[in-house]
A and B are shown apart, each in its own frame.
Chain A
Amino acid sequence: MYDIVIIGAGVTGCAVAYRLGQYAGRVAVVDQAHDVSAGASKANSGIVHAGYDAKAGTQKARLNVKGALIMEEYCRPLGVPYVRSGAMVLGFHEEDRATLEALYHNGLANGVKGCRLIGREEVLSMEPRLNPQVLLALDVPASALVSPYELTLALADSAAENGVQFLLGSRVTQLAYQQGAWQLTTPGGVLTARAVINCAGGDAGRLHNQISTRQVHIIARRGQYYLLDHNRPALFTRTIFQAPTKMGKGVLVTPTTHGNLLLGPTAEDIDDGADTITTRDGLKNVLEKARLTFPGVSLRQVITTFSGNRAHEAGGDFIIGAVEGAPEGAFEAIGIESPGLSAAPAIGDELGDLAALSLNLPKKTDYIAPTPLPKAFSAMDEDERRAAYQKDPDYGRIVCRCEQVTEAEVRRAIRRPVGATSLDGVKFRTRAGMGRCQSGFCSTRVMEILAEELGCGLPGITKSGGKSWVLSGGIGKADQDA
């Protein structure tokens, strides 16, 4: 029997787990995916929204602003990349002025500091590659960038170091309250808990509706993106939004914390929330709209395309707290679409505390503070690299040439508290395979290291767990070895 089981190992679930790591209690996180951060948390814009957009008075507005304010401090002890980049919302027509003014006033109402409306010349002096037809912009200096999957992975590690168990590759099919405890049915057996916290993203509605008399309706909203290679110097330093118009919300052009450029997302309501395909029309749409912001975008720079599904609740707001219409001990975070990443620190703290207090869990006396992620070899200067090599000669071995990831970093990614068990697991923890060759050169070496560290043969290695096998078998002698 667990005290608390969190369903969902995305950024929300992991932020809750991180908070609960401070309390004495038996806590587990369960997720159907084979790794943490496998859903929307790995496929979003990576933006810490300042909070001018969410409608004043909503949970979205409150938690966004609260989360954004603490995000930098939240990331620091974890060693997670955070960049106070700033943002702009562009207007191209006179009628956009009213829209931007409304956003400005909404920001004021939400308590966002530093926003101002600026004219074309200033806009272009700040971001020279923008479409010169821009008329005006809302400047948002409080906007920032965070690496969403690195944040999620770091939260999971710290939680695990403090005793939270991660039960991955395990889908909760049925959630029910029986004999005074919560029963979670999974393919591997039934988990029991005194309290559950539903942070299941796109799947959260299904679980909610199993236990509550008040139904929710989650709509999977697909967002497709282009990812471009990094450039020195950066093409843009800020996140560039477009003012929403009658024609739609527009797409953003933003740097990532690693200096790549991201274009997207679309917003398409789809039936199957697990389906993260890209489509010809969707990508075309992104490109056309992105060209309005950045006419010089070059497809030669495209590294990959991807999509992620946001969990939009029909009511439009986040639903946070104890589950209404359900027995005691059920908590949830439902409808966590944008600005869910920005709000994650606030949601994690509030929901974690709420659940812990409901069970009277005491604070731990032996809490282990997070170990910050070490600086990436690619980001080190010469002396730091020499020092890293002195400590571990595996820093002398480059595995991924595109992102300059060393063997020491790949091995560490596998040995982390919630370690990588697949090629994608290594990729999201180290960036090996995330660069311009998209793992063409490094995947065989990463597979060898994974096989060594996990103590399995090469054919046992997968792309992302489950049936995502990479090799169908050996040839000749290797076949007999396999």
Chain B
Amino acid sequence: MRDDRIPVDLLVVGAGPAGLAAAIAARKAGVTSLVVLEREDEQGGILNQCIHNGFGLHRFREELTGPEYAQRDIDEAQALELDIRTGTTVLDITPDKLVTAVSRERGIQVFAAKAVILAMGCRERPRGALAIPGSRPAGVFSAGTAQKLVNMAGYMPGKRVVILGSGDIGLIMARRMALQGAQVLACVELMPYSSGLNRNIVQCLQDYDIPLLLSHTVVDIHGRERLSGVTVAAVGEDRQPLPGTEKYLACDTLLLSVGLIPENELSLSAGVQLSPATQGPVVNNLFETNIKGVFACGNVLHVHDLVDYVSRESAQAGQAAADYLLGARPCFLRSRVCDGQGVRGTVPQLLDIPCEQTPETVELMFRPDRVYQNHHVTVRTPDEVLLSQRRMIFTPGEMAEVKLGPAMLEQARGKTITVEITKEKQA
């Protein structure tokens, strides 16, 4: 190894809510050699541009804005004297955990880490990924980019707005643009239900009389230099546009809120295996990937709805990384967790259940594939049903979770576990 490698026990990639919570937990668990690298100039990640409130209800029992929520972690990290380097972009991670980063202050630096926590967050699906036909003028933005322009730079991206997709950022931006005097003509959603939180549909659309067009999509984009309008059409059950339903909406701005993609290019360079369902790493209940000592948490692992759960999950990952470094790891048997009927993207995908001590409760998180009312979440092994719990509603816009207690985990040790949504209670 070259002698200019910088040894470090734990390297955390990202100082958003996930990276901060993981680093704080690891430090509290006794990791002293710890560096956090953040590409932006400020800590806090995407929370910095989320100036609306509603963050922290679960974790702090308070309604905070994004920057306020972030500040709590930033303050705690500072009190713990964590080494957080902003303006530093990680360029590459190798399977043996050499982490190359670059910054204006320090140039190229290569860290030789014993453990790495991936906390890079996610990105928005762009227009191109949807292959929406039409012209390619200025005025088509992802909702998050528009949010950054308005809330961080202080500029409006346009005055007559159509929003495609009803993800939370799109809903929030519908309200933000309306508050700022823009005319928001419609929020257009391909699916028969919104992928956003219900509270956002009420507070961001209904309160501002912005129509939500379910089972509709944008089928054409017009305008040569700047956007001049979009054509919207209804879609059938197969999600294909229905001929004859096309309607032209004159607008200068189209915001896209059509999905978030965990940003795993660095994970791939490290040899981390990804799940096609979540597009994030395959992890065990300690949030460890297939590469020993490489952990993942937050939106890089799977896209969350609430930052509160990002923080909770990431603190667990930080604790697990500390345990890995400090050598506290019992022997275990591995169980595989599979998505059953109605369930997509269960995390973690693997449960390493200890053999000689009582396992700790594990939360399985997943998304339903559509809306279900008065159904049951059922967790089973090939031999038996571990639990079957009734829920009023499952909706793809809200991540569902189910807890497996120590006794269930002992029953499931080494077996394949299936999570499914069933109409009837299973016994």
Name A residues whose Cβ lies closer than 8 Å to a Cβ of B.
226-227, 274-280, 282-283, 299-300, 302-306, 382, 385-386, 389-390, 393-398, 401-402, 404, 407, 436-441, 443-444, 448, 458-459, 462-464, 466-479, 482
Decide: B158 and A302 in contact? CB cutoff 8 A: no
A471: which B residues are within 8 A, CB to CB?
A: 149, 155-157
B137: which A residues are within 8 A, CB to CB?
A: 463, 468
Decide: A278 and B153 in contact? CB cutoff 8 A: no
* Extra 6 A-B pairs, beta carbons < 8 Å, given A448-B153, A472-B158: A283-B131, A304-B126, A304-B129, A396-B105, A462-B138, A469-B138
Closest A residue to B241 using CB positions: A280
Question: What 1/0 flags go to B213-229 for Cβ under 8 Å of A?
Answer: 00000010000111000
CA distance A266 to B226 in the complex (A): 26
B150: which A residues are within 8 A, CB to CB?
A: 475
What are 16 residue pairs bridging A and B, where the CB atoms are less than 8 Å apart in the complex? A277-B133, A278-B133, A278-B134, A282-B133, A304-B126, A389-B107, A393-B104, A396-B108, A439-B126, A441-B145, A444-B153, A470-B157, A472-B156, A473-B156, A474-B156, A475-B156
A283: which B residues are within 8 A, CB to CB?
A: 131, 133
Decide: B110 and A382 in contact? CB cutoff 8 A: yes
Decide: A459 and B155 in contact? CB cutoff 8 A: yes
- Assuming the A-B contacts A277-B133, A283-B133, are A385 and B102 also in contact, with contact meaning beta carbons closer than 8 angstroms in the complex? yes
Decide: B154 and A478 in contact? CB cutoff 8 A: yes
Decide: B226 and A469 in contact? CB cutoff 8 A: yes
A interface, by DSSP: helix, strand, loop or mixed?
A: mixed
B370: which A residues are within 8 A, CB to CB?
A: none
CA distance A60 to B123 in the complex (A): 45
Indicate whether B411 reaches chain A with its CB closer than 8 angstroms. no
Indicate whether B278 reaches chain A with its CB closer than 8 angstroms. no
Decide: B159 and A472 in contact? CB cutoff 8 A: yes
CA distance A171 to B234 in the complex (A): 41
A393: which B residues are within 8 A, CB to CB?
A: 104, 107
Decide: A472 and B104 in contact? CB cutoff 8 A: no
Decide: B133 and A470 in contact? CB cutoff 8 A: no
Decide: A302 and B131 in contact? CB cutoff 8 A: yes
CA distance A280 to B150 in the complex (A): 32
Decide: B149 and A226 in contact? CB cutoff 8 A: no
Decide: A440 and B144 in contact? CB cutoff 8 A: yes
Q: From A283, A397, A474, name the one whose CB has the most chain B CB atoms within 10 angstroms.
A: A397
Decide: A303 and B87 in contact? CB cutoff 8 A: no
B107: which A residues are within 8 A, CB to CB?
A: 386, 389-390, 393, 396
A470: which B residues are within 8 A, CB to CB?
A: 138-139, 157
B interface, by DSSP: helix, strand, loop or mixed?
A: mixed
Nearest CB of B to A128, in Å: 20
Q: Which 10 A-B pairs have the closest CB atoms?
A: A304-B128, A478-B154, A463-B138, A438-B126, A398-B89, A396-B104, A468-B225, A468-B138, A467-B225, A389-B107
A444's partner among B123, B148, B156, B224 (CB-CB below 8 A) is B148
B148: which A residues are within 8 A, CB to CB?
A: 444
B103's partner among A277, A306, A396, A436 (CB-CB below 8 A) is A396
- Assuming the A-B contacts A382-B110, A469-B226, are A437 and B126 also in contact, with contact meaning beta carbons closer than 8 angstroms in the complex? yes
CA distance A278 to B134 in the complex (A): 5
Closest B residue to A286 using CB positions: B131
Question: What 1/0 flags go to B50-75 for Cβ under 8 Å of A?
Answer: 00000000000000000000000000
Decide: B108 and A382 in contact? CB cutoff 8 A: yes
CA distance A389 to B104 in the complex (A): 8
A402: which B residues are within 8 A, CB to CB?
A: 265
Indicate whether B199 reaches chain A with its CB closer than 8 angstroms. no
Decide: B128 and A303 in contact? CB cutoff 8 A: yes
Indicate whether B152 reaches chain A with its CB closer than 8 angstroms. yes
Decide: B129 and A466 in contact? CB cutoff 8 A: no
CA distance A389 to B226 in the complex (A): 38
Indicate whether B166 reaches chain A with its CB closer than 8 angstroms. no
Indicate whether B127 reaches chain A with its CB closer than 8 angstroms. yes
- Assuming the A-B contacts A404-B91, A467-B225, are A444 and B149 also in contact, with contact meaning beta carbons closer than 8 angstroms in the complex? yes
Decide: A389 and B135 in contact? CB cutoff 8 A: no
Decide: B180 and A475 in contact? CB cutoff 8 A: yes
Decide: B145 and A280 in contact? CB cutoff 8 A: no
Nearest CB of B to A396, in Å: 4
Decide: A396 and B128 in contact? CB cutoff 8 A: no
Question: What 1/0 flags go to B94-136 for Cβ under 8 Å of A?
Answer: 0000001011111110100000000000011011110101111
CA distance A303 to B87 in the complex (A): 26
Indicate whether B288 reaches chain A with its CB closer than 8 angstroms. no
Decide: A464 and B145 in contact? CB cutoff 8 A: no
Nearest CB of B to A318, in Å: 28
Closest B residue to A423 using CB positions: B138
A382: which B residues are within 8 A, CB to CB?
A: 100, 108, 110
A397: which B residues are within 8 A, CB to CB?
A: 87, 103-104
A278: which B residues are within 8 A, CB to CB?
A: 131, 133-134
- Assuming the A-B contacts A386-B107, A438-B127, are A398 and B102 also in contact, with contact meaning beta carbons closer than 8 angstroms in the complex? yes
A482: which B residues are within 8 A, CB to CB?
A: 155
B138's partner among A280, A302, A304, A464 (CB-CB below 8 A) is A464
Indicate whether B299 reaches chain A with its CB closer than 8 angstroms. no
Closest A residue to B156 using CB positions: A472
CA distance A438 to B140 in the complex (A): 11
Nearest CB of A to B92, in Å: 9
Closest B residue to A482 using CB positions: B155
CA distance A439 to B106 in the complex (A): 26
Closest B residue to A408 using CB positions: B104
CA distance A274 to B134 in the complex (A): 13
- Assuming the A-B contacts A304-B128, A438-B126, A444-B152, are A279 and B133 also in contact, with contact meaning beta carbons closer than 8 angstroms in the complex? yes
CA distance A479 to B91 in the complex (A): 37
Nearest CB of A to B252, in Å: 7
CA distance A443 to B265 in the complex (A): 20
CA distance A51 to B127 in the complex (A): 36
Nearest CB of B to A369, in Å: 31
A303: which B residues are within 8 A, CB to CB?
A: 126, 128-129
Decide: A385 and B155 in contact? CB cutoff 8 A: no
Q: Which of B156-189 contact A (CB under 8 A)?
A: 156-159, 180
Nearest CB of A to B89, in Å: 4
Indicate whether B344 reaches chain A with its CB closer than 8 angstroms. no
Decide: B142 and A440 in contact? CB cutoff 8 A: yes
CA distance A382 to B108 in the complex (A): 8
Question: What 1/0 flags go to B242-265 for Cβ under 8 Å of A?
Answer: 000000000011000000000001
B156: which A residues are within 8 A, CB to CB?
A: 471-475
Indicate whether B27 reaches chain A with its CB closer than 8 angstroms. no
Q: Which of B257-279 contact A (CB under 8 A)?
A: 265
B128: which A residues are within 8 A, CB to CB?
A: 227, 302-305, 438
B149: which A residues are within 8 A, CB to CB?
A: 444, 471
B144: which A residues are within 8 A, CB to CB?
A: 440
B252: which A residues are within 8 A, CB to CB?
A: 472
Indicate whether B39 reaches chain A with its CB closer than 8 angstroms. yes
Decide: B129 and A444 in contact? CB cutoff 8 A: no
Decide: B104 and A478 in contact? CB cutoff 8 A: no
Decide: B145 and A443 in contact? CB cutoff 8 A: yes
B225: which A residues are within 8 A, CB to CB?
A: 462-464, 466-468
CA distance A407 to B155 in the complex (A): 22
B138: which A residues are within 8 A, CB to CB?
A: 462-464, 468-470
Decide: A274 and B224 in contact? CB cutoff 8 A: yes
B124: which A residues are within 8 A, CB to CB?
A: 437, 440
Closest A residue to B222 using CB positions: A277
A472: which B residues are within 8 A, CB to CB?
A: 155-159, 252-253
Q: From B39, B127, B149, name the one whose CB has the most chain A CB atoms within 10 angstroms.
A: B149
CA distance A282 to B155 in the complex (A): 36
CA distance A304 to B130 in the complex (A): 8
CA distance A278 to B131 in the complex (A): 9
Decide: B226 and A396 in contact? CB cutoff 8 A: no
Nearest CB of B to A282, in Å: 8
B139: which A residues are within 8 A, CB to CB?
A: 470
CA distance A393 to B102 in the complex (A): 10
CA distance A475 to B154 in the complex (A): 5
B224: which A residues are within 8 A, CB to CB?
A: 274
Closest B residue to A384 using CB positions: B108
CA distance A38 to B155 in the complex (A): 28
